[in-house]
């Protein structure tokens, strides 16, 4: 009798195995996420997770909002070092790829991403998604572009027209227009520079020299062109008195000041576009940054999706499926429209939702077009250390304790020393 009872139990378990499996706990995909722009990011992502979970039973998408990009990276590395529970995914700066890979905090994604999938991403965004230092010549994919941006010049076109001015096309015109539009209660231009490298790079490029090339072990801080770019920053407040002196710690405030008419122009991220368009009562123009002798320049920015090291196979599979959904053309366009980040998928620009949006908001198309002239963002080995070196010396110039020439010469020497350990013969 006991044997028959045991057989019945076994048969029942086999018959209802599918049901029992479906009752198991869902796979939880936690994602560390930064809040870097003035958009309702948390509400949008909560909506996304609910929509995905409704279509994918057995998966819980949990966004953990950790402050800014630096906060996400620091929490991830600190949690990893302390042996705590790690997320499956994290949005971190695309430029952090070298530091994250060297810390063994992330894993390659080549086994997941098909050639067809990657072919639909703009090459500009994918250009800093690979790591190839000291390997066999085959770069490995680590980052999937998601919330990507460029540096923009936002201009109050109505104010220009009222004052008989036109859009500046070079440094001289930019300074002259900024000076003409500066009043007792309005700055001609704001260039937030408390995190200076990103805002500064378009000026260096506009003078003829980016501070980095494709090499991950070389920087160019003390070239005449880069020095000229930094001197131009100084001229904007010393000569033209068109921008606040010194370090401008106003990144979060600048879009609101612009929309309120307290600044005629600002340098800021594409990620501020929806907020500015929603608040401004004047015609807004967006472009790259005018170059010294003409042309418009910018650099890429923003974050990539990374898979965190140590994620178990089942969670990794679920995480990748969500990455594919989140970065699909339809979602990438929806994210761009609602946040201002530039869509990462080529086919997304052909969708009806995008064409309808830019018909009403042509500034979004102008912002997206800047990827065609975007230079490489500052990303090298030992980025945190080299970036701190550059920032410290730029601050010395802005605070009036060093000349651009002396500061950039010192920055070059210190950066070369920090990068020397990564150079191969």
What percent of the chain is modeled with pLDDT above 90? 87
Q: List the helix and strand counts (H, then E) for the chain.
A: 19, 11
Please state which CATH number belongs to domain 150-300+376-422. Answer: 3.40.190.10
Please state which CATH number belongs to domain 27-148+301-375. Answer: 3.40.190.10
How far is it, in rounded angstroms, from Cα 252 to Cα 38? Answer: 8
Name the residue among 201, 194, 198 with its Cα closest to residue 250: 194
Where does CATH 3.40.190.10 sit in the chain? Answer: 27-148+301-375, 150-300+376-422
Say if residue 132's pLDDT is above 90. no
Burial bucket for residue 356 (CB in 10 Å: 0-12, 13-18, 19+)? exposed
Look at residue 322 in the predicted model and tell me its pLDDT.
98
340-389 pLDDT tens trace: 999 999 999 999 999 999 999 999 999 999 999 999 999 999 999 999 99
How far is it, in rounded angstroms, from Cα 404 to Cα 425? Answer: 32
Give one word for 58, left, alpha or beta, with left for phi > 0 and alpha for psi -120 to 50: left
Instruction: Tell me the CA distances in angstroms from 112 to 144, 278, 313, one per residue in order.
Output: 11, 39, 12
220-253 pLDDT tens trace: 999 999 999 999 999 999 999 999 999 999 999 9
Say if residue 141's pLDDT is above 60. yes
Look at residue 167 in the predicted model and tell me its pLDDT.
97
How far is it, in rounded angstroms, from Cα 211 to Cα 411? Answer: 12
Query: pTM above the 0.85 mark?
Result: yes
Look at residue 336 in the predicted model and tell me its pLDDT.
95
203-222 pLDDT tens trace: 999 999 999 998 899 999 99
Q: How far apart are the first and last CA of the chain?
A: 79
CB of 273 closer than 8 Å to CB of 265: no
In sequence order, what E strands does 224-350 have?
A: 265-269, 284-287, 289-290, 296-307
Look at residue 21 in the predicted model and tell me its pLDDT.
43
Q: Alpha helix (H) ranges present in 239-309?
A: 254-259, 273-279
142-174 pLDDT tens trace: 999 999 999 999 999 999 999 999 999 999 999
Look at residue 128 in the predicted model and tell me its pLDDT.
86
């Amino acid at each position: 009798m006991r044997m028959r009872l045991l057989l019945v139990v076994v048969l029942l378990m086999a018959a209802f195995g599918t049901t029992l499996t479906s009752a198991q706990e869902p796979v939880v995909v936690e994602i560390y996420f930064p809040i870097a722009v003035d958009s309702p990011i948390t509400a949008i992502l909560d909506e996304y997770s609910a929509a995905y979970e409704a279509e994918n039973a057995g998966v819980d998408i949990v966004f953990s909002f950790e402050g800014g990009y630096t906060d996400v990276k620091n929490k991830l590395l600190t949690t990893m070092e302390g042996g705590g529970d790690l997320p499956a995914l994290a949005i971190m700066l695309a430029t952090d790829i070298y530091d994250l890979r060297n810390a063994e905090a992330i894993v390659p994604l080549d086994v997941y991403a098909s050639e067809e999938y990657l072919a639909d991403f703009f090459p500009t965004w994918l250009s800093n998604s690979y790591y190839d230092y000291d390997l066999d010549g085959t770069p490995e994919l680590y980052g999937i572009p998601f919330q990507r941006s460029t540096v923009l010049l936002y201009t109050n076109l109505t104010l220009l027209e009222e004052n008989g001015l036109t859009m500046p096309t070079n440094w001289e015109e930019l300074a002259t227009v900024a000076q003409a539009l500066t009043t007792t209660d309005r700055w001609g231009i704001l260039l937030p520079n408390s995190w200076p490298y990103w805002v500064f790079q378009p000026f260096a490029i506009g003078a003829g020299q980016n501070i980095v090339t494709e090499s991950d072990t070389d920087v160019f801080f003390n070239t005449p062109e880069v020095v000229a770019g930094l001197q131009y920053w100084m001229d904007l407040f010393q000569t033209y008195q068109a921008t606040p002196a010194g370090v401008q710690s106003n990144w979060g405030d600048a879009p609101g000041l612009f929309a309120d008419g307290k600044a005629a122009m600002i340098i800021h991220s594409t990620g501020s576009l929806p907020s500015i368009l929603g608040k401004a009562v004047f015609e807004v123009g967006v472009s790259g940054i005018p170059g010294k002798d003409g042309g418009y320049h910018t650099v890429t920015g923003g974050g990539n999706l990374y898979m965190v090291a140590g994620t178990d196979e089942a969670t990794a599979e679920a995480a990748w499926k969500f990455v594919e959904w989140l970065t699909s053309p339809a979602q990438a366009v929806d994210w761009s429209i609602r946040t201002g980040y530039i869509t990462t998928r080529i086919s997304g620009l052909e969708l009806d939702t995008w064409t309808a949006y830019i018909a009403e908001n042509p500034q979004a198309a102008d912002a997206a077009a800047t990827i065609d002239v975007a230079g490489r963002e500052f990303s090298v080995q030992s980025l945190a250390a080299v970036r701190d070196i550059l920032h410290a010396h730029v601050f010395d110039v802005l605070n009036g304790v060093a000349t651009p020439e002396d500061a950039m010469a010192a920055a070059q020497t210190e950066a070369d020393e920090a990068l020397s350990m990564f150079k191969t013969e």
